[in-house]
Structure formats: C-alpha cells, structure tokens
Structure 1
Amino acid sequence: MFKKIFLIHLCLMHIVFCSDYNYLEDGLYEDFPKGIYQEDKLRKSEDLSLVSMVTVKEDELFQYKSQNIMWRDEAPIKKKPKPLIENTRKIIREFYSLNFTSRWPYGVIPYELKPEIEKDDFLNLSIKLAIEHWEQQTCLKFEKFNPEIHSKTHEAKLQFVKVEQGCYSEIGYPDFLFNKFSSIVTKRIFLERNCLKGQVMHEIGHTIGFFHEHSRNDRDKYIDILWQNIAFPSLNSFNFDVAGDILEKDNLNIPYDVSSIMHYPSYAFAINLRKTIQVKDKNLEFLLGNRDGLSFYDAKMANVAYKCDSRCKDSFIECKNDGYMDHKCKCICPQGLTGKYCENYIAKSEKSVPLEKVNLTCYFTNSLCSWIQEKYRDEIDFIPNKGKTFTSMYLQTIGIENDRNFTNDTYLYLDSYYVKYPDESAQLKTPLISIKTETNFCLSFWYHMFGNPMVLTGELGVYLHEPNLSENLTKLWSRAGRQNHSQTEWLQAQINVKVNSDFRLMIKAQRFNSFLGDIGLDDIQFDLGECPESDIKPSITLLYY
C-alpha cells in the first residue's frame, strides 16, 4: 500500500515539475511573457527574452516531423474538452493527503542563490525586484536561507538556479508524505541569463502554489484555445490543457482573470505568429500575457490563500464589492472603487489640466515631468536609460551609445533587442490639457534611429488628440527606418502645433519585426509660438481607441 502511495505522489511531483517547461529536440522552452499594463516606469521593459519566444514558421514544420519521433502528424490537432467539475481551480489546495500543508509555513520562503547566479548582476537584480514586488503586494516574506533557523520551521527551501536556456520552476511547497525523515528539500526556480523581473515574478507564483490561469476548468467561458496553431502539439499541448482533479487546485472563489501574471499571452507556442489563445471578449485581449506585476486578483489570491489578514484585529470586517483585506489590515479595492470598505465608486470622467500647470519641457533626468506612460493602448513602455542600450552593447555597430549630449544623462528608448512580437509600441502622452483660446506652440525633441539600413526596424510618430472636436488622432510628424548618419548622432525634430480646444499630445514609437535598431527620445522642449524651423507635417488622421 505504501509503495502505491509513494508512486502516486512521485507521479504527481513529476507532473507538477513538468508543468512549466517543455523539452523540444535539444532546446528547452518555457513560459514567456508579453509586457503590458502597469504604472511602474520599468514595467513593460522588464519582461522580455529572445529565447523565451517560441514561434515556428509553417514551412519549417516538416523537418521537425521527420526528426522528432514524438510528433503527431495531425493537422489541425483537435482536442476533446475534458469534463468540467463544479469547483474551478487555480491554486494548489491547502493540504495534501494526511493533512500535510501545501503552503509555505508562516508565509515565509527561505531561499538561496546558486553561486553562478550570485555572480550574475543582471539575474540578481531581476530576482531582487521580483521578490520585492511579491512582498509589497502580499504578506509573504523571502528570507535568505539559514539552516540553524529555518530547519526548525521549514522542511523545504527555495533555490534559484542558473541554466543555459529557459525560465521555469517547480510548483508549491513539497508533499512530505514520504519525506518526513529526509533533510531539507530544495524547490527550484531555473533561470537563464535573460530572465527578467516579470518572468521571475511568474515563476515565484508557481513556487507559492499558483498554476496557470488558463488551466482553470472554467476557462472555456472566457478564452478559446486554437489548437491548430500550436507548434509541436505533441510536446506543447499539455501547456494548454485544462487541469484535472489530479492537480487539486482551488480558485478560492476568485473570478477568471485574463490579466493574471499566470496567464499565457495570445501567441504562446505559436506557428507563424498565429494566435493560440483567443479571448472571447476582444476588448480584453491586450491584458493577456501580463508580466509587469501582480494583477488585483493575483494579489488577492495570494493574500487569501496565505491568510494574510489573520494578524489583523479587524479581520472579521468584510471588504465590500470584491475587495480584500491585505497584510496591512486595509481593504484593497478593485479598480474603480474606493473607501474604507470599497463601498464607493470613483467617477470616470477625465479632468483636464490648465496649460500653465503642466511641465512638458522634459530632460528625463529624474522623472517624466508631466508626460505619462500609456497604460492600456500599447504593449510595452519607453525605458529610461543611461549609457548604452542592450542593442549597442551586444551588436556594437547599431543602437544608442549615450544621451544626446554624451553626458551619461537619462534618455528614453524603445528596446529592439528583446523583441517578442512585431508591431509592439510604446506611447508617451500628456494629460488632457485645457486652453482658453486658440494656441500655437512649438514641440521639439531629439531622437535616435540608427538601425540596420537593410531592414525597417521601426517608426517614431507624434500625434494630436482634441477630444472635443474629434475622437480621432491626427499624426503631426513621423520617421521610419534608419535616420541618423552615425551611431553617435542625434537628430532634432521641430513641430508646429495649433490647437483650438482641450488637447493631448502623444509620442509613439513602434518597432517592426526586427531586433536591429532602437528608437531613442531625449530633451523634449515645449514653447509657445512657432518653431524657428519646422519639420514638414504629414496630414494623416487615425482612430483613437
């Protein structure tokens, strides 16, 4: 009997361990993200990794069919849906058999770094930022492993391990049914050189017990899995399977969340950039693949699962409207709600700011001034940077080497080295600005676009929006492809702008399907009156959504 139980648990551990990565030929493929949606100025730039992107061209499939004996020669693969159970599940259940806990005791995760990770400043920073984010949003505490202390309270520790390729992890606190007399068990998170903050946050989610959001048994109400677009389905399809009872997950009455940090993006494991996940409500599609930070429901799930309100004197007080009490004993409210108990709604109307109260002249030394990183209508953010970009560092002959004055000051740039998807854009916008009368002003800035001359790496554009006159955007200026004559050169744009009502400006950088050049932005100047020398203005009107 004991042997049977042992084998069952061994199988379960194997299934859980394999739930986040896949061996394909000699390569290891894993979770990968698409950055979106959060206010932290570094958010979208921190979750990109070239090797984490798994897409396959259709004309290359035949070679894998002939080389991989596990390939199922079926096109398209059609999966029969598994029977749903009444309880949808997302996080590993609180107790294993024989009442062994699946949660890290006291919400404390002792951890250590393997020597090869300790020597890697880049990975160290990614881990540090990811841990800080989880600690800010939950009552979880990550402590450097101390055998004398933690051996008395824990039977497991977390270890960060560096690997050649992939970002993947094991799930949950170990089941000690057959391990009660062993030494401290090591649960591992495996990270390649380019695993960034968002990916580490995702893997930590697995470590504390989170499964993928799209494995929930109620997922078919919210998304469609396009099985025919999944590359190497015999190897990758399990990443999209609905989790059965064997994984024993519990959703804790938390609704399905397309913005979860545990959800795959639209093009996960895709053939020819065809969608593998389609959101039924297309207005929510931009939320998929978030690796910027915990969503509201991610944080709620962790706080509820680890009983973070148990230390609060007022833990019996119920937060309203789906809010929850955090480890600081305050109700955290969903977006659009406020109040001590999340009982009040926030007005949605956007207020304009008088022109004289905004600061649009900005050198990005310490802040973005009055400029704002767009949260919803783009996929990535401009990255504040000093010195060389990744492209310039690794490819050397292209990319940005320094700010426009070569003083090692801060500038913004759209990264092209860690391209995940073609046509991703970053948008920098002003607040809605009110004026009293028709106004002319000059907008000038310096830009850098020194990419490979053989490919069109991206476009930089300036747009005007006057919502009282039109819902559309007017493109005032744009440049595409290589513009600079040398890698050290920055160019100046000067644009005359005439406005008749409340307005906002938007600077949009969009990268195309190439990693051979960045787009830099520096020293924005905003002056009343006309420019000394204005660039030619294209007359193009675009929809504002």
Structure 2
Amino acid sequence: MFPQIWGVIFLFTPTVFSELFKDPELLAGFYQGDIKAHPIRTRNGIVNQIYHWPNRTVPYMIEDDAFADSHYREILRAISIIEENSCVIFKPATEMDFPMALVITSKGLGCNTVHLGYRNKTQVVNLEIYPLGEGCFRIGSIIHELLHVLGFEHQHVSQNRDQYVSIQWKNINPQYNINFVNNDNSTAWHDFDEGYDYESVMHYVPRAFSRNGQPTIVPLREGAENMGQRFYMSEKDIRKLNKMYRCPDHV
C-alpha cells in the first residue's frame, strides 16, 4: 500500500542473538540491544521537543499479514495501555502521513526500534513472532519498544544510575560494554524529576549481556525485586511520559 516504506523495513537484517540468554531485546549489532540507529544520548528521556511526536500523535501502520489476529490484538492492547495512561494518541496512518509514520513489522529478529523519538522520517518497530506472553510478545516488551518510539532510552544508563546500581563490568561480555556506558554529558538529559526507577519497563534485566551467567547490574538499594520486568508501565514510567509530552496536569 505504501511502497516508499519497504526499504526502511528491510533495514532489519538478521543478527546474532546475545549468546547466553537469547533475549530478543538483547541483540548483537544493535545499540543497547534493541536500537538500530545510535541515539542522541539523553539519559533517560528526550527533552528537546523536536524529537516529540507532533500534536502528541503517532500515526502508525501494522504491516499487512505480518501478525496473526491474536498478535495484532496484543499490539493494539499495548497501544491502548499507553493511551489510557497519557495524552499520547496512536492513530492509523493515512497515505498522507508517510513517510513520517510508525511502521510495526515482524520481518527481522528480536524486538527493536530504528530511532528514539520522532525524527521526521519513517520510524520502524520490529516485533519477532513469539507465543503471546513470551519474547517480543510479552506485553511489556511491546510497550518498551513503543516508549523508545516516544523518546525514552533505557533506565540503566541514566546519569544518576551509579547511586542505584553497580555495573559489574567483569561479568559483561566486553564487546557489549558500550551498552552500559553513561558518561556522555554533551546533550541534555532528564528524568523529569521522577528519579531512578528499578521497576521501569525500560530497565535492563539483571544479567543483560552477561559473559558468564552472573549479574551485570546489581541494585544498591531496596525495591529492586522487579528490576527488568516486562509486564506493565511503572508509576514513574507513566508520570515521565506525561511530563515529557506535557499532558494536562503534568506540566
């Protein structure tokens, strides 16, 4: 229907999974495991409004014949969770919306996003087919990728992370060290005054990119029992999103 987008979709060439856990959010060859293009490092949420979706609206298309009805409905459920908890709207894209819409496909390996935030070009999310509740079709994994689309990076690289977690460099496969670096101070970063969030759906799992099965991220405070969960948006996730998009009562 929209031929100009297919070249973008095929950017998702197959890559080798993280050797140890085969977690579809932790792909080799992707920045931090699930981002195709190296992002502007904003250290948790993008503040610059040029990277926010205009009018708080994301035009999207779910690729024809890419998903079974049950998977299609699960994507819509993730979208509805974000909409119910914020002022952000996802609307089916019209032909006029391209090439600046979100395309959701299943052509590549893993669950991943091309860009963080709005980039005035086609955005693509890949969700590899898994049984519902597993892999890329954990509801939190779909929400995770959609929050990347809206402008959030991973929680574990926030500037204040060393007060809350200890990165176990000795346990990280060295080729993936870049996925844990958070020393870029060249661009604005913001946690929207919500602080570090162990429970964020944007947090890495404790053994992400481990070389030996040992933890790569160790919490330093209480309250980290659900670190890396992929079941729901945390309360802080919801408040950050509303503040980022200046939703009523959250400015």
TM range (shorter): 0.7 to 0.9
TM-score normalized with structure 2 length: 0.78
- TM normalised by structure 1 equals 0.37
1:289 equivalenced with 2:225 (yes/no): no
State the one-letter code of the partner of 1:138.
Answer: S
Residue pairs, 1:475-490, within 5 angstroms: none
SS state at 1:91 partner: coil
8 Å contact kept, 1:266–1:275? yes
Describe the SS at the equivalent of 1:143. strand
**Aligned-residue offset at 1:306:** 0.7
Say whether residues 1:251 and 2:199 are aligned partners. no
Partner of 2:126: 190
Residue 172 (str. 1) matches residue 117 (str. 2): yes
* Alpha-carbon distance in 2 for matches of 1:53, 1:203: 9
8 Å CA contact 1:94–1:102 kept in 2: the answer is yes
- CA deviation after TM superposition for structure 1 residue 287, in Å: 2.1
- Aligned mate of 2:24, from 36, 49, 52: 52
Secondary structure in 1 aligned to 2:102? strand
Letter in 2 for 1:173: Y
Write the mapping of 1:57-136 to structure 2, written as runs, cut at 5 A.
Answer: 89-95=43-49, 101-117=50-66, 119-136=67-84
Query: For 1:62-84, what per-residue CA distance to the aligned partner results, in whole angstroms no more than 9, with x for missing partners?
Result: xxxxxxxxxxxxxxxxxxxxxxx
Distance of 1:145 and 1:262 partners within structure 2? 26
1:210 offset after TM fit, Å?
0.3
Alignment of 1:238-277 (within 5 A): 238-242=178-182, 244-246=184-186, 248-277=188-217
Matches of 1:166 and 1:247, distance apart in 2: 29
Deviation per CA, 1:324-380: give whole Å up to 9, x if none: 58xxxxxxxxxxxxxxxxxxxxxxxxxxxxxxxxxxxxxxxxxxxxxxxxxxxxxxx
Gaps of 5+ in 1: 1-20, 33-49, 55-87, 96-100, 177-184, 310-314, 316-323, 326-545
Match in the other structure for 1:210: 152
The CA deviation at 1:248 is 3.8
SS at match of 1:92: coil
| Partner residue in 2 for 1:157 | 101
CA distance in 1, matches of 2:168, 2:102: 35
Write the deviation string for residues 288-310 of structure 1: whole angstroms up to 9, x where unpaired: 0021111111101111111111x
Deviations 1:77-132 (A, max 9, x none): xxxxxxxxxxx84111224xxxxx11101111000012242x42343133112111
1:145-189: per-residue Cα shift (whole Å, max 9, x none)? Answer: 0134x47xxx72101121342111121000x5xxxxxxxx21010
**CA distance change for structure 1 residues 163 and 248 in 2, over 3 Å: closer, same or farther?**
farther
| CA–CA separation in structure 1 for the residues paired with 2:203 and 2:225 | 12
Report percent identity of matched pairs. 28
- Larger Rg, first or second structure (1 or 2): 1
Assess if the C-alpha contact under 8 Å between 1:268 and 1:276 holds in 2.
yes
Q: Encode CA deviations 1:447-495: one digit per residue, 9 max, x unaligned.
A: xxxxxxxxxxxxxxxxxxxxxxxxxxxxxxxxxxxxxxxxxxxxxxxxx
Q: Find 1:301's aligned residue among 240, 245, 250.
A: 240
Give 1:387's aligned residue: none
Equivalent-residue separation in structure 1 for 2:155 and 2:118 (angstroms): 19
**RCO comparison, higher one (Cα < 8 Å, 6+):** 2
Show the counterpart of 1:425: none
**Are residues 201 and 53 of structure 1, via their aligned partners in 2, closer, same or farther at CA, if it must alter by over 3 Å?**
closer
Hey, what does 1:373 align to over in structure 2? none
CA separation of 1:190 and 1:93: change in aligned 2, threshold 3 A = same
**Number of aligned positions between the proteins:** 220
Structure 1 or 2: more strand by fraction: 1
Structure with a larger share of its residues in helix = 2
Cα distance change, pair 308–173 in 1 and its aligned pair in 2 (3 A)? same
Give the root-mean-square deviation of aligned CA atoms. 3.0
Tell me, what secondary structure is at the counterpart of 1:238? Answer: helix
Kindly report which structure 2 residues correspond to 1:410-489, keeping only aligned pairs within 5 A, or say none: none
**Given that residues 109 and 143 in structure 1 are in contact (C-alpha distance below 8 angstroms), is that contact kept between their aligned partners in structure 2?**
yes
CA contact (8 A) 1:161 1:188 kept: yes
CA contact (8 A) 1:111 1:145 kept: yes
2:25–2:111 CA contact under 8 A, matched in 1: no
State how 1:297-376 maps to structure 2 within 5 Å: 297-309=236-248, 315=249, 324=250
Cα distance in structure 2, aligned partners of 1:27 and 1:116: 25
